[in-house]
C-alpha cells in the first residue's frame, strides 16, 4: 500500500558509540510489529558478522515500519546510523534523507564527544530533533545531571527530553508518538517530476547493484526508464521495494518513501552515492547530493600470496559499492610486490575494511604502516599532495612541508584534565578552550596534527581517563611544520615499505625503535647486516645483525698463532666479498612484525 506524504515520517537515530542505538531500533521494530517475536534477535539491523561481534554499527540501515496513531496509519522510515567518528560519512548521508532525528544520550555516560558532533550535524541539516536519554533502568543512571549537560552543551530544553529504556521497552511508546507528532512530514510534490536521491547501495552477486533511494518528489514504477544524472546512464527498473526489514517488493514508490531499486546494473562504476535518479520522459534537475568524504588515513594493502592480486582487486571493487568512503589505486612495492594504496576516513575504518576483506573474500593481507596526506610546496611554487613517504622529493626541492591539522574535542572527567593536557602537549597540540559541562565533566578543544591523532591518541586518552574520556575530531586545514622523511636501510638498500614521515624532533626516537625491532626479526646471514634509519644521507640510528660464525680454526691443534691468523684473515676477505654481492632476504614475518608494532612506536 502507498501512503500520503502527510502520513510518512523519515527519521534517523544518532548517538555516540555504545549509547544504545541498535537496541532502541530493535524495540521500535518490536513495538510496531515490523518483526515477529519469533524472528526477533538483538541488533537485528546489524547484518554484518563484524558488527555483531564488535557490538558497533558500521553500515547505515533503512527499515520501513507501520504505526497506528489516533486511528490513522503512518509509515515510519528509520535509518539506523553508526556512532564512531570514522563513519561520519554514513551519518551525513542518512541526515540528508530525513526530516528528523532521535538524539540518544546514555543516562550513565552522559553527553559524549560524538553526541555533540552528531547533534550539530543534524542542526546544520535543519532537522527536527527528539532528544532521548536511554538506559534509565540502570542503577548508575544520573538522569538529572545528564539533562543539565544536554542543556549546557546542546541548548536542549529539559522539558523536551524523553526518558527511555531500550532494554526494557519503557518510554518507547511515548517516543513513537513523538515521532508522529513532533517530526514534520516530507515536503516533496507527489505530482511533480521524479527526483530520487541515492543514499546507499550494496552489490548482489545475482541481481547486480541494489540501489537505496529516498523519493524527494514524483513517483517511480517497475518497468519505468530512469536516468542516473551523475553517472549519465539510463536503465529500466526491474524491481522496487521497501525494507521491512528484509527486502519486500512493491510495484511503485511514492514521494517521501524510502526503498530500493534494482535495474540490472552490473557495472560497479555506474552507481554514485549522492546521485539523482529521474525519469527519462520528464527529467528533473539534480539534487545537491553530498559533500565528498575526505580520506584522512592511507596505507598499502598487499596480498600475502602474490598470486591473489586479481582476487584482491575484485574484492575491493565489490566492497567500494557497499562503502564508497574509501578509495584505492594500484601500486607496486619493491619489498611486497603488487598491491593497492587505499585511503580511509580513519584508523577504525581501515581496520574494518581489512577485516571485511579477509573474512568476506577469504584473503590473507599484508598492511603497511598507516600515514596521512601531506602537502609540499616546492621551490618552483608548485603544491603537491604526498600520499606515501616515497613521494617526498629531495630536501633541496622543498620550500615548505605542510601537515593536516584537526580540531579535537575531548570530553573527560574533571580530575583527569591535567593528564589529558600533558598528553595533548606531548603530541604538539595547541589548546583552544576548556569548558565545564558539569562539576565532574569538562570539554577540552585542541588543534593537533592529524598524524599524532590517528595512531594512538584514542587509546592513550582511554588510559589516562580510566575509560571515561571520549574524543571527536574534524579536519581544519594544512599548516607548515618541520617534517622529515625517515628511510630504513638494510645492507645499504632502502626498504620503501618501512619509510615514514614524522616531525624532526621525533625522528631519532622512532627510527631507533624501528631498526631495533627489525634487528631482532631479521635472519642472520654469513656476513654482518647494517640496519639503519636515515634522513637523506645522514644516518640517525643503526643496529648491526651479527654474521653467522663458522669456526675455521677448529682443525688447528697447537702450532704457531700465525696459522690461525691466516685463516681468520682469509675468512674476513671472503665475508667482505660476500657482503658486496650478497642480498639480504627480509622475510614476510619480519615485515609483519615491524608493521604491526607500528613504525610510529
* Tens-digit pLDDT profile for residues 508-523: 888 888 888 888 877 7
Q: Which three cell numbers stand for residue 340?
A: 593497492
Mean pLDDT of the chain: 80
- Can you give the pLDDT at residue 586? 63
- Can you give the pLDDT at residue 232? 82
Secondary structure of residue 269 in the 3-state scheme: helix
- Kindly list the domain boundaries of the chain, sorted by start residue: 5-182, 195-279, 297-369, 374-480, 487-597
Closest CA to 299 of 339, 251, 254: 339
Pick the CATH number of 487-597 from 3.90.79.10, 3.40.50.1860, 3.30.70.2570, 1.10.274.10: 3.30.70.2570
DSSP state string for 66-82: EEEETTEEEEEEEEE--
Contact in structure between 7 and 65 (CB atoms under 8 Å): no
Query: Is 289 a residue whose pLDDT tops 50?
Result: yes
Secondary structure of residue 374 in the 3-state scheme: strand
Q: Is the dihedral of CA 40, 45, 47, 49 positive or negative?
A: negative
Q: Which residues are 100's β-sheet partners?
A: 11, 128
Q: What is the pLDDT of residues 175-206, one digit of tens each?
A: 999 999 999 988 878 888 888 888 878 777 78
> Who contacts 159 (Cβ-Cβ below 8 Å, separation ≥6)?
none
Question: Which class would CATH give 5-182?
Answer: alpha beta
Query: pLDDT band at 536, cuts 50/70/90?
Result: confident
Closest CA to 122 of 147, 97, 150, 149: 97
Q: Is the domain defined by 297-369 classed in CATH 3.40.640.10?
A: no
Q: Which three cell numbers stand for residue 206?
A: 545475482
Q: Is the dihedral of CA 350, 354, 355, 356 positive or negative?
A: positive
- Pairing state of beta strands 100-106 and 8-15? parallel
Instruction: Return the residue matching grid coordinates 506524504.
Output: 5
Contact in structure between 405 and 481 (CB atoms under 8 Å): no
Instruction: Return the residue matching grid coordinates 580520506.
Output: 295
- Pairing state of beta strands 128-134 and 162-163? parallel
> What average pLDDT does the segment 87-106 reach?
81
374 CB neighbour count, 10 Å cutoff: 24
Query: Is 38 a residue whose pLDDT tops 50?
Result: no
Domains 297-369 and 487-597 share a fold: yes
- Can you give the pLDDT at residue 544? 86
- Can you give the pLDDT at residue 531? 87
- Give CA–CA dist 455/294, Å, rounded: 18
> What average pLDDT does the segment 258-268 reach?
82
- Give CA–CA dist 316/339, Å, rounded: 11
Q: Which fold has domain 195-279?
A: Elongation Factor Tu (Ef-tu); domain 3 (2.40.30)
**Measured CA distances, 255 to 46, 274, 463, 550, 568 (Å):** 27, 18, 50, 82, 89
Higher pLDDT pick, 579 / 514: 514
- Can you give the pLDDT at residue 130? 92
Please state which CATH number belongs to domain 374-480: 3.30.70.240
**Measured CA distances, 410 to 349, 432, 435, 436, 452 (Å):** 20, 12, 10, 12, 15
Q: Which residues are 101's β-sheet partners?
A: 12, 129
Q: What is the pLDDT of residues 433-448, one digit of tens each?
A: 888 877 778 888 999 9
Q: pTM of this prediction? A: 0.71
Task: Give the start-end residues of each E strand in 310-390.
Answer: 327-333, 337-344, 365-367, 371-372, 374-378, 383-386
- Can you give the pLDDT at residue 46? 47
Buried b or exposed e, range 180-215, using 16+ CB within 10 angstroms = beebebbebeeeeebbbbbbbbbbeeeebbbbbbbb
43 CB neighbour count, 10 Å cutoff: 17
- In degrees, rounded to 5, the angle at the alpha carbon of residue 361 between the alpha carbons of residues 356 and 366 is 70
- Can you give the pLDDT at residue 54? 52
- Give CA–CA dist 234/305, Å, rounded: 40
Amino acid at each position: 500500500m502507498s501512503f500520503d506524504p502527510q502520513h510518512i515520517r523519515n527519521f534517523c537515530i544518532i548517538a555516540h558509540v555504545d549509547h544504545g542505538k541498535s537496541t532502541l531500533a530493535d524495540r521500535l521494530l518490536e513495538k510496531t510489529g515490523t518483526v515477529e517475536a519469533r524472528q526477533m534477535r538483538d541488533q537485528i539491523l546489524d547484518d554484518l558478522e563484524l558488527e555483531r561481534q564488535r557490538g558497533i554499527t558500521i553500515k547505515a540501515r533503512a527499515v520501513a515500519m507501520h504505526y497506528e496513531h489516533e486511528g490513522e496509519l503512518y509509515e515510519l522510515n528509520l535509518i539506523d546510523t553508526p556512532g564512531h567518528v570514522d563513519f561520519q560519512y554514513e551519518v551525513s548521508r542518512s541526515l540528508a534523507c530525513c526530516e528528523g532525528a532521535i538524539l540518544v544520550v546514555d543516562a550513565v555516560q552522559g553527553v559524549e564527544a560524538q553526541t555533540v558532533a552528531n547533534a550539530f550535524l543534524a542542526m546544520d541539516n535543519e532537522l527536527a530533533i527528539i532528544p532521548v536519554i536511554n538506559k534509565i533502568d540502570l542503577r548508575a543512571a544520573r538522569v538529572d545531571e545528564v539533562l543539565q549537560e544536554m542543556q549546557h552543551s546542546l541548548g536542549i530544553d529539559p522539558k523536551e527530553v524523553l526518558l527511555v529504556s531500550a532494554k526494557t521497552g519503557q518510554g518507547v511508546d511515548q517516543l513513537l508518538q513523538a515521532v508522529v507528532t513532533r517530526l514534520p512530514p516530507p515536503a516533496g510534490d507527489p505530482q511533480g517530476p521524479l527526483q530520487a536521491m541515492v543514499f546507499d547501495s550494496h552489490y548482489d552477486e545475482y541481481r547486480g547493484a541494489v540501489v537505496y533511494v529516498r523519493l524527494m518528489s514524483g513517483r517511480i514504477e517497475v518497468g519505468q526508464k530512469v536516468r542516473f544524472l551523475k553517472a549519465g546512464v539510463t536503465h529500466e527498473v526491474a524491481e522496487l521495494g521497501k525494507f521491512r526489514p528484509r527486502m519486500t517488493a512493491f510495484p511503485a514508490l511514492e514521494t517521501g518513501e524510502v526503498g530500493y531499486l534494482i535495474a540490472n546494473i552490473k557495472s560497479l562504476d555506474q552507481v554514485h552515492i549522492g546521485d539523482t535518479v529521474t525519469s527519462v520522459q520528464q527529467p528533473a534537475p539534480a539534487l545537491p547530493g553530498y559533500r565528498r568524504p575526505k580520506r584522512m588515513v592511507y596505507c598499502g594493502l598487499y596480498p600475502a600470496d602474490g598470486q591473489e592480486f586479481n582476487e584482491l582487486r575484485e574484492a575491493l571493487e565489490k566492497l567500494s559499492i557497499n562503502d564508497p568512503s574509501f578509495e584505492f589505486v594500484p601500486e607496486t612495492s619493491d619489498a611486497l610486490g603488487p598491491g593497492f594504496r587505499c585511503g580511509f576516513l580513519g584508523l577504525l575504518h581501515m581496520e574494518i575494511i581489512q577485516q571485511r576483506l579477509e573474512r568476506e573474500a577469504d584473503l590473507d593481507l599484508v598492511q603497511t604502516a598507516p600515514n596521512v596526506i601531506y602537502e609540499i610546496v616546492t621551490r618552483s611554487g608548485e603544491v603537491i599532495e604526498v600520499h606515501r613517504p616515497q613521494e617526498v622529493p629531495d630536501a633541496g626541492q622543498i620550500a615548505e612541508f605542510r601537515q593536516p591539522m584537526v580540531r579535537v574535542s575531548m570530553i573527560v572527567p574533571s580530575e583527569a584534565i591535567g593528564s589529558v593536557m600533558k598528553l595533548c602537549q606531548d603530541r604538539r597540540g595547541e589548546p583552544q578552550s576548556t569548558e565545564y559541562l558539569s562539576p565532574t565533566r569538562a570539554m577540552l578543544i585542541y588543534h593537533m596534527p592529524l598524524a599524532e591523532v590517528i595512531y594512538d591518541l584514542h587509546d592513550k586518552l582511554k588510559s589516562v581517563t580510566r575509560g571515561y574520556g571520549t574524543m571527536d575530531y574534524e579536519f581544519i586545514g594544512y599548516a607548515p611544520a618541520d617534517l622529515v622523511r625517515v628511510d630504513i636501510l638494510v645492507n645499504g638498500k632502502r626498504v620503501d615499505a618501512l619509510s615514514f614521515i614524522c616531525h624532526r624532533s621525533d625522528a631519532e626516537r622512532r627510527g631507533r625503535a624501528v631498526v631495533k625491532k627489525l634487528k631482532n626479526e631479521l635472519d642472520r646471514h654469513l656476513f654482518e647486516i647494517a640496519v639503519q634509519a636515515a634522513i637523506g644521507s645522514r644516518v640517525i640510528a643503526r643496529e648491526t645483525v651479527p654474521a653467522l660464525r663458522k669456526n675455521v680454526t677448529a682443525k688447528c691443534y697447537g702450532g704457531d698463532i700465525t696459522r690461525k691468523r691466516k685463516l681468520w684473515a682469509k675468512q674476513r676477505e671472503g665475508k667482505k666479498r660476500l657482503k658486496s654481492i650478497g642480498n639480504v632476504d627480509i622475510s614476510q614475518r619480519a615485515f609483519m612484525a615491524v608493521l604491526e608494532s607500528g613504525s610510529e612506536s
